[in-house]
Amino acid sequence: METDISIDRLTLVGYDTGMIESYLKYSEYISFIGFSRNYGFRHSYQGLKGELLEIGEKGKIRLDFNPNNANMREVENIVSRLKYPYLTRLDVAVDYFGIDLSEVEWTSPKRRKQNLWLNQEGQPETLYIGAPSSERRYRIYNKKLERLEKKEESDSRAVNGHWRVEVQQRFKESNNILDTVDYFAADLFDIRPYRKVVNLDHIDKPMERIIIAGLIERPSELKNLSKNARGKYKKMIQEAKERSGVAISPEPIEVYTKEKDLLADQLTSLFSHCAKTVAQV
């Protein structure tokens, strides 16, 4: 098995230094595509590799792109015409090659909605953890299958499978993050994988084994229990999952923790092209 990690999407907002208009006028890379659907922005422009640039009121600029696909020289060209940048969205993807994650379940320390999408054969294809509108949302999906469906070239490492664990983190302007390192929270990947088949042999009482098995299968039933019972069984479920052994190694949080400083360096490098950073105000 092989792993990889990357920043998969960035949305940054900054302010025009008075040089965006001339760039748009003479650029052969980016072109006007219509009016923006995002509140506070009027006009939309799109780059040849999918970069989206939106112009708002009072010189406000929004730039959305995937660093893995974008023309980064053009992105840096745009960013150099901005001041006071900050992120409103950061997606980080951990890729797993040579392993099937369809038989892996995921647990979260926080209450998050889960939606599982199955393919025509009834096999897991995509799992969403967190609501679409939440500040943090996870997506676990079969990346090899997605590329096949989109008729994209498959990664050479994906011969025996390619799954992706992706986190989407949103930020508010009021977060007032001044240091790019602070965008990469230590708990960005706080979901944990565990085996779908959980061993309950360590639980002596048959009735407790039956209850735990039922709650693992239908976790929504926890809300129907008393506060004390809910706490008791949640603790027992967590212990059972941990006793069942490691589902995948390294876990997403381990891959991320090892590489997050390098990811932060990439963002720092991008912001360094700005005319002025927030820290210089």
User: CB 74: neighbour CB atoms within 10 A?
Assistant: 19
Which has more confidence, 65 or 215? 65
148-158 residue pLDDT tens: 888 888 888 99
223-234 residue pLDDT tens: 899 999 999 998
3-state secondary structure (DSSP) of residue 253: helix
Select from 187, 170, 164, 152 the least CA-distant residue to 248.
Answer: 164
What's the pLDDT at 280?
A: 44
User: Are 55 and 43 contacting, i.e. CB atoms less than 8 angstroms apart?
Assistant: yes
Question: Region 49-75: what's the mean pLDDT?
Answer: 96
Q: Domain segments of the chain: what residues?
A: 2-194+247-273, 200-244
- Strand 162-170 and strand 41-47: pairing? unpaired
3-state secondary structure (DSSP) of residue 89: strand
What's the pLDDT at 279?
A: 46
87-112 residue pLDDT tens: 999 999 999 999 889 888 898 888 89
User: Are 267 and 180 contacting, i.e. CB atoms less than 8 angstroms apart?
Assistant: yes
